[in-house]
Chains A and B, each alone.
Chain A
Amino acid sequence: MTGNRQVIQKVARWSVRLVFLAAAVGLALGSPLPGVLVRVFPGLSPLVAAASSVAQRRWYLGAYWFGPPLAVLLLAIWKGRLFCRWACPAGTLYAIPSRLSLRKHFLKVRLNAYLFWTIVGASLVGAPLLLFLDPLSTFNRLTPLLTGTYTVASLVPGLLLPIVLLLGVFQPMIWCTHVCPLGYAFELARSIRREPKRTFLNSRRQVLSGLLLGAPLAGLTRWLLLKKDRYDRAPVLPPGADGMEAFAAACTRCYACVDACPYGLIRVRFDLDRAVGQLFQPELHYLDSETGVPCGYCPEWCNACTKVCPAGAIRPLAPDEKRHRQVGVAKVVREACLAWEDKEDCSVCQEVCPYQAVTLEHTPDGRAQPTVDKDLCRGCGACYSNCPAIRAGKAIFVTGVEQQRQVADAGGGAG
């Protein structure tokens, strides 16, 4: 191989890498491209697709979104880490400090095999722990910073990427060679095809320890870290989430849904009223905690977030399914209510409810007093964000439901 050819290859590789990096940023930015494309990069990972499917005991990917991770897997079977070296946007970033590296190899043990098999073991038990280490989700986690949808809390799990960048100054490519479970999966895919027997013999220790570690760890996590019996106010999860515990476990914290929400309602918050496993999960917030101004509500025509989750933590919902999805339930606080307590003619909650879930009882002098029908309420927050009460704060609040369900529409009504 001549030096010339090497240079050409290097230029070609960096060109391709930069194209992929630009594409990842561009798709995350969305507009003018469709917002749904934010899931393309985090959705490329066959590790996330497979582990999530195993953990959730169902194949959640539709026809379109099944193709890309399959293609990446086939690429890995054919060429191993080709994806890492030419396409992975996180890998591209990590390669930059590694070029100026001090070459102090402080991490000797390759953790990636253990991490990979821990994920496999945990997924078998039903809680795909450590999936947030997937490099594509890690990269995407920072895109709210580009789109302006970030919160301070969303930056904490986002720190993984800059920390690795910093470590790369000491040990070149530390993440890719020693930690990345996806990279290991690619290696494994290739070596199984080429030398199945040797692969098994070489990696049996990692397989065993990973599985032995992952399964009980996941069980323990489900028991200790994902469960919370009482909330002051239970979180409202994006529509399509499959129960509090399952959502917290399945979410890779890629924050594609944070980017996708056209109304900026899906946010990451610091909240002590959460189980450890729920930390930094994206939730629906109808009030901006920084400004104290309502952000709006989750409107009846929108299902944007249900289309972007690469991990199946938010299931795809058709617009009509979304319209009938109960993510929470509103409740009137009578002591704060203008109609109940202040004797005003206010029925804003009833007016703005898209589902006619707020019913009014009329007092003898004709004043209307609101009550929420919890079998009709979807928890969309329209009442909450429009409630004009200020004397004792808002007079209607939405609390998340433990298990989301589909609810029926109000009947035509009589009289």
Chain B
Amino acid sequence: MATRHECGWDRQVTRRDFMHMGLAAGGAVVLAEGLSPAAEAGGAKTDVWVLHGTDKKALMQAAMKVIADHGGLGKDAKKVTLKVNAAWWSTPDEGGNTHPELVDAFLKGCRDQGVKELVMPEHPVQPAAQTFPQSGLLAVAKSNGAAMLDMKAETKRWQDVTLPNAKTLKKAQMPKDVLQTDALVNMPVAKHHGGAGLTLAMKNWMGSVQDRRFLHRNDLHQCIADFATYIRPAWTIIDATRIMLDKGPKGPTQNLKKLDLLIVSKDQVAADAYTATLFPKDLADRTKYIQIAAEMKLGTADLSQMALHKIEAS
């Protein structure tokens, strides 16, 4: 069943093969039927792991164990593409970007699982020359031999794609490495967002699209949900170690809440829906893309349909 390959576990073809197939067939083959991982598992609940721990390294190691125990990054995954958030001139403590200690442990975990090529493409909002070092992410990418790509400069790595099942965002340019990889992992930071309500996993794909402006002009929430019709990460790992409750997406804010949580799932909609419950209700309600994605059957936003596994990491 094609959808299974796409979601990255129990694969007969590699993700790279799939993406090529998908592109060749306009994606229609794969995306014709319902996409919800829950539906696919035959009505079983969607797994969402909620890991807690103050030590970020131990926290991510626990997450990597969850991943390894549940299909890992896929059989023989040689290339992993990691989408972090490194869009802002913000220090790790300010919470504007994914925390570098988490990324460090993730990259090391990938190496332990035999991954050869690690790529981190990012289309930052502020200049990469400042955001990449300031976020602390450039340093951990370098120390782990991962290629952190500034998509503003890597113009040749953009690729035209059509999103056949999208309602609004029918065409876009996305990084090659997001489209062609053995395992795609999304690791956003959860935070307040003035316009969208919250920045969560699906919103993080805005850092993987060339023309963000189109989205702002054409129903932002629908466009964000449209990402999920096409970009199907093997794993979503949401950094909720500290979350901005206001002044997002850049901050800094004094209302930075320390939660020490990681939310891990194969279902990006479920990961977003659960993470949204960690925020005040008005912000969660304003984050309309979650509901839209659920209505498009791209995942589940219904907490009662989720199997929540709470894990204490230490």
- Residues of A whose CB lies within 8 Å of any CB of B are 296, 299-301, 338-339, 342, 344-348, 350-354, 356, 360, 362, 366, 368, 386, 388-390, 410, 412-415
Contacts and interface: CB of A to CB of B under 8 A. Distances in A.
Interface in B202-220: 212-214, 216-220
B275 to A, nearest CB: 19
B250 A354 contact: yes
Interface residues of B, number: 30
Q: How would you classify the secondary structure of chain A's contact residues: helix, strand, loop or mixed?
A: loop
Nearest to B248: A351
A328 to B, nearest CB: 19
Contacts of B286: 362, 366
B114 interface: no
B126 interface: yes
Given A388-B212, A413-B247, A413-B254, A360 B125 contact: no
B249 interface: yes
A415 B250 CA distance: 17
22 contacts: A299-B89, A299-B130, A300-B89, A338-B217, A339-B195, A344-B219, A345-B195, A345-B196, A345-B216, A345-B220, A345-B288, A347-B195, A348-B213, A350-B195, A351-B194, A351-B249, A353-B250, A356-B247, A356-B250, A366-B285, A368-B194, A388-B213
A321 B220 CA distance: 37
B195 A348 contact: yes
B123 interface: no
B254 A412 contact: yes
Given A366-B286, A413-B254, A415-B246, A388 B89 contact: no
Contacts of A410: 247
A348 B216 contact: yes
B220 A413 contact: no
Given A344-B218, A346-B217, A352-B125, A301 B195 contact: no
B216 A412 contact: no
Contact of A344 (B89, B220, B245, B254): B220
A264 to B, nearest CB: 12
Nearest to B286: A366
B244 to A, nearest CB: 10
A299 B216 contact: no
B95 to A, nearest CB: 14
A10 to B, nearest CB: 48
B246 A350 contact: no
Contact of A350 (B194, B197, B218, B253): B194
**5 shortest interchain CB distances as A-B pairs:** A347-B195, A412-B254, A388-B213, A346-B216, A345-B220
A366 B250 contact: no
Interface in B260-289: 285-286, 288
A389 B197 CA distance: 20
Most chain B CB neighbours (cut-off 10 Å) among A299, A344, A353, A354 = A344
Contacts of A386: 125
Interface of B: 89, 125-127, 130, 193-197, 212-214, 216-221, 245-247, 249-250, 253-255, 285-286, 288
Centre residue among A338, A339, A360, A410 by max chain B CB count within 10 A: A338
Contacts of B255: 412-415
Nearest to A390: B217
Given A301-B130, A351-B125, A366 B220 contact: no
Contact of B193 (A342, A351, A353, A362): A351
Contacts of B285: 366
Given A354-B89, A366-B286, A413-B247, A338 B216 contact: yes
Nearest to B127: A299
A337 to B, nearest CB: 11
A350 to B, nearest CB: 4
Nearest to A343: B219
Nearest to A388: B213
A352 B248 CA distance: 10
A1 B143 CA distance: 68
Contacts of B218: 344
A386 B214 CA distance: 12
A84 B112 CA distance: 68
Contacts of B217: 338, 342, 344, 346, 388-390
Contacts of B212: 388
Contacts of A414: 255
Contact of B253 (A347, A368, A412): A412
Contacts of A412: 253-255
Contact of B216 (A344, A366, A415): A344
A356 B90 CA distance: 14
Contact of B197 (A352, A366, A413): A366
Contacts of A345: 195-196, 216, 219-221, 288
Contacts of B126: 299, 352
Nearest to A301: B130
B145 to A, nearest CB: 27
A388 B213 CA distance: 5
B220 A351 contact: no
A413 B212 CA distance: 28
A350 B285 CA distance: 20
A342 B217 CA distance: 8
Contacts of A388: 212-214, 216-217
